């Protein structure tokens, strides 16, 4: 039984069509109702309509990514219980439609963070990039977070000062928008909102955020067990604290803590090689071996880091992540499962004709098609060479 080859699709407004997805070779769709406000119940009829569109195209809605966790839950503020009940009802509605694998994250305020969405590669393709000095420019000079300089090395602070003095206002505005963007189609957070949220999380801290995650998981596990839903937490991206915000899903110890703190079968992991691989402290193969029994979904992409910890998203088989080792372990785990583990080629270079198109950052068609082709070939090679008699 092969892994379920899947593709993230943002819905009817996605520039990449379901026909494109089929031509790329995927059979599973990873999608979400991005037009539903965070925290609101996902209506049954909206879920059914999205499922209908996907199935009429000859594909399967395999994973829901994501059902966003409202900030009131992450901070466990006054409206937490209301949003928890909404979340439980959304899960019930998804299960009623046969959707039982759900991805989410518990990153404070921001989702994934990059500083450049179009780093030009040697071959003219464009990649997503994270640069510490650019983040420091935003943090120190745009956000003006109190004590921000203390979170960076002297070298990075000096680089940030030099860049800030050389950047035009347009460059500063663009940098600010990129960092505040997060997930496509979910809107920008304002500087004022971000500053206020940083203060809230300062009082919550690392242990408090861990406790809030455990409270969230404990509050939904009964529904998950009743309906057959598997929850998969996405690792922090990048996997270390930024902008003074705590991170609690950044390494092997974090992921083990999460699945052991609420030790119930539906509490699982979305194994993202790119997020974990961006941390010099992480060995994705070792992490997968430790938490693989609770991995229900995988994001496969690669990154290339420099000595300062900056990284860009590289070709799927040509970065710091041992993708062969990861795929070999995934194949071994998958062979023990009754249902195939869905994976998707995560992100991809903007390349060829897509360079002339407007696409969601990281989610153009051709770069992901290349990634999926490489990953499918890698999986088949491992199956044939390791498991064929």
102-146 pLDDT per residue, tens: 999 999 998 899 999 999 999 999 999 999 999 999 999 999 999
Asked if pLDDT for residue 269 goes beyond 70, the answer is yes
Domain that holds residue 316: 4-127+204-387
Active-site annotation holds for 346: yes
Residue 137 covered by a domain: no
314-356 pLDDT per residue, tens: 999 999 999 999 999 999 999 999 999 999 999 999 999 999 9
Residue 182 covered by a domain: no
34, 70, 316, 347: which one is catalytic?
A: 347
Residue 373 covered by a domain: yes
Residue 196 covered by a domain: no
Is 377 exposed, middle or buried (CB count within 10 Å of its CB: 0-12, 13-18, 19+)?
A: exposed
Of 310, 335, 280, residue with least CA distance to 115? 310
Asked if pLDDT for residue 159 goes beyond 50, the answer is yes
Q: Over range 2-9, report the average pLDDT.
A: 97
139, 254, 315, 346: which one is catalytic?
A: 346
The CATH code of the domain that includes 260 is 3.20.20.150
Active-site annotation holds for 316: no
Instruction: Name the helix (H) or strand (E) containing 259.
Output: helix 252-261
Sequence-separated (6 or more) residues with CB below 8 Å from residue 178: 114, 115, 116, 117
In angstroms, what is the C-alpha Rg of the chain?
A: 20
Averaged pLDDT score across all residues of the chain = 96
87, 152, 296, 363: which one is catalytic?
A: 363
Residue 297 covered by a domain: yes
70, 87, 272, 312: which one is catalytic?
A: 272
Name the pTM for this structure.
0.96
234, 236, 296, 349: which one is catalytic?
A: 234
Question: Pairing between strand 267-272 and 302-305?
Answer: unpaired
- What is the model's pLDDT at position 182? 59
Residue 257 covered by a domain: yes
Give the number of domains in the chain: 1
Asked if pLDDT for residue 233 goes beyond 50, the answer is yes
Active-site annotation holds for 70: no
**185: confidence class by pLDDT, cuts 50, 70, 90:** very low
Active-site annotation holds for 347: yes
- What is the model's pLDDT at position 184? 45
34, 70, 164, 299: which one is catalytic?
A: 299
Residue 376 covered by a domain: yes
- What is the model's pLDDT at position 342? 98
Residue 242 covered by a domain: yes
Instruction: Quote the tokens at residue 295.
Output: 């991995």
Of 234, 238, 319, 316, residue with least CA distance to 281? 238
């Amino acid at each position: 039984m092969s892994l379920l080859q899947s593709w993230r699709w943002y819905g009817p407004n996605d520039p990449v069509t379901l026909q494109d997805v089929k031509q790329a070779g995927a059979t599973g769709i990873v999608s979400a109702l991005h037009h539903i406000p965070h925290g609101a119940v996902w209506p049954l009829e909206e879920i059914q309509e999205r499922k209908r569109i996907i199935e009429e195209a000859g594909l399967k809605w395999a994973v829901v990514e994501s059902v966003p966790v409202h900030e009131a839950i992450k901070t466990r503020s006054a409206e937490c219980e209301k949003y928890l009940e909404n979340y439980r009802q959304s899960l019930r509605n998804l299960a009623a439609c046969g959707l039982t694998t759900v991805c989410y994250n518990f990153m404070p305020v921001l989702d994934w963070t990059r500083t450049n969405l179009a780093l030009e590669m040697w071959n003219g393709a464009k990649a997503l990039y994270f640069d510490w000095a650019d983040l420091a420019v935003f943090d120190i000079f745009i956000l003006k977070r109190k004590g921000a300089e203390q979170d960076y090395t002297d070298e990075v602070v000096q680089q940030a000062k030099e860049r800030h003095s050389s950047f035009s206002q347009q460059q500063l505005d663009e940098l600010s928008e990129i960092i505040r963007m997060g997930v496509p189609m979910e809107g920008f957070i304002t500087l004022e909102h971000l500053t206020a949220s940083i203060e809230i999380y300062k009082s919550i801290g690392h242990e408090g955020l861990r406790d809030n995650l455990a409270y969230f998981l404990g509050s939904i596990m009964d529904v998950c067990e009743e309906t057959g839903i598997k929850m998969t937490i996405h690792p922090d991206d990048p996997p270390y604290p930024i902008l003074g915000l705590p991170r609690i899903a950044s390494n092997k110890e974090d992921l083990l803590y999460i699945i052991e703190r609420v030790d119930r079968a539906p509490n699982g992991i979305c194994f993202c090689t790119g997020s974990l691989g961006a941390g010099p402290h992480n060995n994705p193969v070792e992490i997968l071996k430790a938490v693989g029994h609770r991995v229900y979904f995988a994001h496969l992409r690669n990154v290339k880091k420099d000595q300062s910890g900056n990284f860009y998203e590289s070709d799927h088989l040509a970065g710091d992540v041992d993708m062969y080792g990861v795929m070999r372990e995934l194949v071994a785990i998958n062979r023990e499962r009754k249902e195939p583990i869905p994976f998707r080629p995560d992100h991809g270079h903007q390349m060829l004709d897509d360079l002339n198109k407007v696409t969601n950052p990281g989610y153009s068609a051709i770069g992901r098609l290349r990634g999926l082709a490489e990953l499918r070939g890698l999986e088949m090679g491992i199956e044939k060479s390791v498991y064929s008699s």
